[in-house]
Amino acid sequence: MTHPAVAICPVIMAGGGGTRLWPLSRQGHPKQFLGLAGSGRTLLQDSLLRLVGLEGSGTTIAPAVVVTNEDYRFLVRDQLADSGHAQTAVILEPAGRNTAPALALAALQAIEGGGDPVLLVCPADHGVTDIASMQGTLRTAIEEAARGAVVVLGVPASRPETGYGYIRSEANTSGARKVAQFVEKPDLATAQKYVSSGEFHWNSGIFVLKASTWLAALGRFRPDILSACRDSWQARASADGFVRPGKPEFERVPSESIDYAVMERCPGSEFDICMVPLDAGWSDLGAWDAVWQSRPHDAQGNAVEGDVVLHKSRNTMVHATSRLVAVVGLDDVVVVETPDAVLVMNRTASQDVKDVVAGLNKGKRAEPLQPRKVHRPWGWYDSVDAGARFQVKRIMVKPGAQLSLQMHHHRAEHWIVVSGTAEVTCGDKTFLLGENQSTYISMGVKHRLANPGHVPLEIIEVQSGGYLGEDDIVRFDDSYGRR
């Protein structure tokens, strides 16, 4: 007997902030765009690449759908292109409304061509070490979802964890288990009881179900969310490779998570919901302690990244970004070094980093917002130094890319080419600069920097003036639609 082919569509949720992984994760460059899993790729790229092997044996993989927001659109596009997923549909949420509306938009995108694929719904910021095991688990989940079930992947609860939600299943079998109950994050004593009972798994936040099943369940339990999402989808616009649902309509969508809106209501309802165990080295990488647990350890339990020297230290994690970090005589500590901020804490206090970030935000500090090296659609800039009335930046422009035609009211700029070829527009003149050549841009003059070559262009920019903020940019023309 032959079974009909199953079309699957990966759905990657990539809109979160990741404040507990500060200072590496920032509001403008959160953890899903960082290489935290030790693979040499970002978490977003890993989320897509670990699904590639599922095609075959009666399954086909449709182009993925990534749901993110306007602020991250260029990060997403660049990282998708770098990992060979340039055809991925990117939906930009007009406003933050949690995961249930985000999945509704993805499901509406997935059925656009008239099909009804099985959606593999994965957060973009998780880590998995055993890809083969995960793919085997997903194949079991896909079989269940293809027949109309709602499937959640549950991770064996190996320790009492208060930062995860839990799933209680009815049968202790190796395959799909009927879900009896979802439980929110417990206190420590309750978590210890859950682990001892053997009845509970951690809720991984990975769901597998047909697009039509999700839309039907959302319509059954939260018709207000579905109706508003449909209105926003009908008002969508597509341009520059992005799908933008209607903003006024989406702003009327109630904010709710997938769990609260649907999953917790499915047990005992007409919707068959089951859990498939996922034993594949999963971690949500939600805090530095989780990152330490996911990394390879030396004989003393230490995990390091970058230029690090450890001496008489145990169970410690050190992440060095830009310089040598030496740690002596410390146990159970996390040290994270970046060019503009350093975090030192007891590893057991990982959840408290969000309180530090909240305090920095309250004080209107810049450190929670952007790293020193800021990515742009044309490349990046690194703020090397700053003082009274001056700022120095190192700027990289990708081959064929250009900055906007712009002007500044409060600053002048000196440009020195370090490598590559620069095409400079200054007032009514356009000219080329090579290595070690420089030019001066007067305050109030329209100008543009472009890279006409085939290798990256790097320059040093020295700004001088009374105000040097990024909001002192008047754009006249921009290749990326920015205003």
Residue 265 to residue 262: CA distance in whole angstroms: 5
Residue 257 to residue 265: CA distance in whole angstroms: 12
Buried b (16+ CB within 10 A) or exposed e, 333-372: bbbbbbeebebebebeebeebbebbeebeeeeeebbebbb
In the predicted model, what is the mean pLDDT of residues 33-44?
Answer: 89
CB 312 within 8 Å of CB 302: no
Specify the pLDDT at position 54: 87
Specify the pLDDT at position 209: 98
Specify the pLDDT at position 302: 98
Q: Which of 39-43, 101-105, 167-171, 477-481 has the highest mean pLDDT?
A: 101-105
In the predicted model, what is the mean pLDDT of residues 361-370?
Answer: 94
Residue 98 to residue 222: CA distance in whole angstroms: 14
Q: Which of 114-123, 154-163, 319-328 has the lowest mean pLDDT?
A: 154-163
Residue 68: strand, helix, or coil:
strand
Q: Tell me the β-bridge partners of 411.
A: 465
Specify the pLDDT at position 39: 77
Domains of the chain (ranges plus CATH)? Answer: 6-283 (3.90.550.10), 297-362 (no CATH), 373-477 (2.60.120.10)
Does the pLDDT of residue 18 top 80, yes or no?
no
* pLDDT confidence tier of residue 2, bands split at 50, 70 and 90: very low
Specify the pLDDT at position 162: 85
In the predicted model, what is the mean pLDDT of residues 56-68?
Answer: 88
Does the pLDDT of residue 99 top 50, yes or no?
yes
Q: Please give the share of the chain, as a percent, with pLDDT higher than 90.
A: 85
Specify the pLDDT at position 1: 36
Residue 251 to residue 229: CA distance in whole angstroms: 10
Q: What is the DSSP string of 78-114?
A: HHHHHTT-TT-EEEEESS---HHHHHHHHHHHHTTTS
Q: What is the DSSP string of 32-62?
A: GGS--SSSSS-HHHHHHHTTGGG-BTTEEEP
Residue 317, burial from CB neighbour count under 10 angstroms (0-12, 13-18, 19+):
buried
**Cis peptide bond prior to 452, omega within 30° of 0:** no
Q: Read off the DSSP letter of residue 140.
A: H
Q: Please give the share of the chain, as a percent, with pLDDT higher than 70.
A: 98
Specify the pLDDT at position 483: 76
Residue 27 to residue 16: CA distance in whole angstroms: 9
pLDDT digits over 259-315, tens only? 999 999 999 999 999 999 999 999 999 899 999 999 999 999 999 999 999 999 999
Specify the pLDDT at position 37: 80
Q: Tell me the β-bridge partners of 458.
A: 396, 419
In the predicted model, what is the mean pLDDT of residues 106-135?
Answer: 94
Q: Which of 54-68, 345-359, 360-374, 437-451 has the lowest mean pLDDT?
A: 54-68
In the predicted model, what is the mean pLDDT of residues 190-208?
Answer: 93
Strands 438-441 and 237-239, by their bridges, are unpaired
How many other CB atoms are there within 10 angstroms of residue 289's CB atom?
20
Q: Which of 85-89, 250-254, 476-480 has the lowest mean pLDDT?
A: 85-89
Residue 127, burial from CB neighbour count under 10 angstroms (0-12, 13-18, 19+):
buried
Residue 332 to residue 350: CA distance in whole angstroms: 11
CB 237 within 8 Å of CB 244: yes
Residue 286 to residue 350: CA distance in whole angstroms: 9
Residue 467 to residue 156: CA distance in whole angstroms: 55
pLDDT digits over 300-355, tens only? 999 999 999 999 999 999 999 999 999 999 999 999 999 999 999 999 999 899 99
- Candidates 375, 404, 386, 352; CA nearest to 22 is 352
